């Protein structure tokens, strides 16, 4: 692929790009990260039906594979951390939700908190975002945003 945003047709022919671009959600003209996180919501709902161990295993698979998926997609299009690469948002939302029990309120608040930390990028997220390269660099800032959101959610959830 060339140094531009792929088309949906190109995503269909490239499974790595399709995953990296959140099944097409990363192609959104406005707020692709938020659209990618929205893709993670039904994924979380499905995973929440399984045991904690199964959820953990699948979440870790999403995170570990995400380093390669994001790195490969970035390399293919020639843009580090292209805004349309949203696999990191999917992984981040799943991580945000890991420590709380399932409820619609937790899902919504987890979504808002994760997006807030991912968009605002408080220190050290902003430092990691600027200084860590490759697939790990694409993933790590979202994972740290997820951990910050998860900590907030964990302490707020009992009160909602």
Instruction: Tell me the per-residue pLDDT of 102-137, one tens digit each, with 9 for 90 and over.
Output: 999 999 999 999 999 999 999 999 999 899 999 999
- CB of 71 within 8 A of CB of 136? yes
Residue 66 in tokens: 């995400």
CB atoms within 10 A of CB 131: 11
Q: How far apart are CA 21 and CA 36, in angstroms?
A: 8
**Mean predicted confidence (pLDDT) in 27-45:** 97
Calculate mean pLDDT across residues 61-72: 98
Coil vs helix vs strand at 121:
coil
C-alpha distances out from residue 38 to 75, 79, 107, 133, Å:
25, 23, 11, 25
The CA distance from 135 to 75, in Å, is 9
pLDDT at 160: 84
User: Mean per-residue pLDDT for 68-73?
Assistant: 97
């Amino acid at each position: 692929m060339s140094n531009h945003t792929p088309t949906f047709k190109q995503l269909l022919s490239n499974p790595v790009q399709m995953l990296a671009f959140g099944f097409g959600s990363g192609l959104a003209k406005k707020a692709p990260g938020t659209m990618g996180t929205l893709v993670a919501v039904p994924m979380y709902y499905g995973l929440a039906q399984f045991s904690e161990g199964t959820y953990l295993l699948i979440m870790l698979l999403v995170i570990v594979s995400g380093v390669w998926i994001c790195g490969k997609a970035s390399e293919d299009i020639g843009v580090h951390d292209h805004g349309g690469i949203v696999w990191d948002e999917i992984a981040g939302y799943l991580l945000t939700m890991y420590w709380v029990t399932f409820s619609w309120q937790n899902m919504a608040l987890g979504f808002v908190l994760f997006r807030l930390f991912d968009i605002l990028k408080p220190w050290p997220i902003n430092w990691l975002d600027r200084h860590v390269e490759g697939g790990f660099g694409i993933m790590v800032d979202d994972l740290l945003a997820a951990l910050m959101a998860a900590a907030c959610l964990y302490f707020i959830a009992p009160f909602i």
